Chain A
């Protein structure tokens, strides 16, 4: 990305995604279980925006960030941020690895919905022409709607990455409803045998890139949610009257709204910086440091904006029927996922030393 301003093509893409999401998947239509639009997204070619033309896509990380923002704004449960992060890692760390190349094209055509098990809690041992995996993890990123899992595993101290389908023999993928309308999952692998081409044997680079990109694209999703909270809150306080006047006439409430806007503006800049860093910065340590800064700043911003949105809505802010409380839960979930603000500030300080 040469600039912090989206190009005309990028704005066109984001505008089309927003149009489809608002017209065909409005908030009101969802009660209880949410719809899933990944099949429609694939028909519309959206996953192709997650990678550049050189590998058959039409975009890249900057486009992924714009889409993630729209998904966040529309409260979508599909983990575009995680899928986009995996595509980024497969593109940049998977050259020559058959697993990564197959994965990337399956993502772009919309057939692969990978979740990621990022902590190497699974044991891998070599077998003839492949690997045996055994173990499990209850820390899964992007579980909602996943049809496969990328599993970080450890063999003789080295990290590798295995690709398993959720319905493969020996694979358990137990899902549960999350508090924010998405899905959590627990993975168990019982002596799963995989061919060598389903595994990246030296996966440190892939896992680091996927993590950094997930932090930045998750932040983009949060920026979308924050923007929607601000729009909803501005509209609400101009509608609701108390003491015979619009709530918007009270300066204390105006300043809550202004503070939310300030947080969102800085968060949006951090996403642009994060995208630029991941695309242009050759040093892995610097990339990790900046991704940590992005997550720390945007995580906090999300909590502030979400809480202010609920406050500005008064009583209905805590009612299930109103959209703002759903965004608050998403923003809270973002803060808790992939390292909280405290963890990332600590990481930032360590990597600065």
Chain B
């Protein structure tokens, strides 16, 4: 069988992948990627276009919509190789949140409208779920959409909306029915962020960047055909999506890149010290702890992939991976800045905000910003405490 034949040649695949990264990933994009700042739209779009041209733009989608038909293990290998080379991660909200809703729940006309621009890096989507009063508790959301003729009229506010400042669309969770239980009566709407009545206000982060936003909706009109999926069934769609989100948040490539960066930083000579930090036994010990914990997480990802392939998926292992992945990422980020010591202290602006020379060595750029931003890793995607509640509920139901 052709597809098996393709899967049986890992060396040929790896060679083609190395070739692509060597020939087509622009060096300045890779350099920015390795620093750990928020990727810029122009970099994400450029890389997405390169991948789409190669036919590898949406390896996680079903083949009929532009996917590659790769095994899950190969998808992971692909993602990891790209990330370790410094390629910007493919846009998560667009490719992994919006696209699955569109190809799972939407009509052919909507699929044709929305999927190709995502695949080709032409349109980007923000995720409009969280609100000031509804973070982990989505049932509390208050943004309303009311039908008026052939339009939906939207009023409300979203918060923590990543990348809304550069996106074209927002996928909105809005209340479309007040007559039913809070979990029902919620729908998905596609809203253009340049619609009249939409205001995107950046929320400056403790990392000194503005990747998060507040988005305000004042009598914003969206045509009826922008309803995604079934009306009032958004709660179920959202749960499906968050399942997707959790399954991917072990973030193994990010963790591996972080460990590699620690090793390179800790091997540098230190002013005023007798040896590089890497040679201090207590530091080497903590690094070994992190590496072993990363192995445990990686082997759990493999086990989950095999269990899913065998038709024995676990409800709660994604929560395990989310909790441990986020905690491990924060420990790795801390070891990075410890390796930099005082060199981590200067404030390095985001690449697109820079006017003058860097305030310190180039190898230090981005490490502190990444640590500060990733304090949110244990908060977003369902906080680690919510995940622990889910695990406990599952263990206690028997």
Contact = CB atoms under 8 A, between A and B. Distances in A.
Interface of A: 3-5, 230, 234, 237-238, 248, 251, 254-255, 257-259, 261-262, 265-270, 272-273, 290, 293, 296-297, 342, 345-346, 348-349, 352
A290 B395 CA distance: 30
A273 B295 contact: yes
Contact of B300 (A5, A234, A266, A345): A266
A207 to B, nearest CB: 23
Interface in B380-398: 385, 387-389, 391-393, 395-396, 398
Given A3-B306, A266-B296, A266-B324, A349 B395 contact: no
Contact of B398 (A234, A346, A348): A234
Given A254-B396, A270-B295, A346-B285, A5 B307 contact: yes
Interface of B: 284-285, 287-289, 291-293, 295-297, 299-300, 302-303, 306-307, 309-310, 312, 316-317, 320, 323-324, 385, 387-389, 391-393, 395-396, 398
Contacts of A349: 284-285, 287-288
B395 A259 contact: no
B291 A352 contact: yes
A297 B288 CA distance: 11
Give me the 3 closest cross-chain CB pairs, A-B, nearest first.
Answer: A254-B392, A258-B388, A4-B303
Contacts of A296: 288-289, 292
Task: Determine which residue in A258, A273, A293 has the highest number of CB atoms from chain B within 10 A of its CB, and name it.
Answer: A258
Nearest to A301: B296
A257 B397 CA distance: 13
Given A3-B310, A234-B398, A266-B296, A258 B392 contact: yes
A236 to B, nearest CB: 11
Contacts of B387: 258
Contacts of A3: 306, 309-310
A348 B302 CA distance: 21
Nearest to B316: A261
Contacts of B317: 265
Task: Determine which residue in B310, B317, B323, B391 has the highest number of CB atoms from chain A within 10 A of its CB, and name it.
Answer: B391
18 contacts: A4-B306, A5-B310, A237-B396, A238-B396, A254-B388, A254-B396, A261-B316, A261-B320, A266-B293, A266-B297, A290-B295, A296-B289, A296-B292, A297-B292, A297-B296, A349-B284, A349-B285, A349-B287
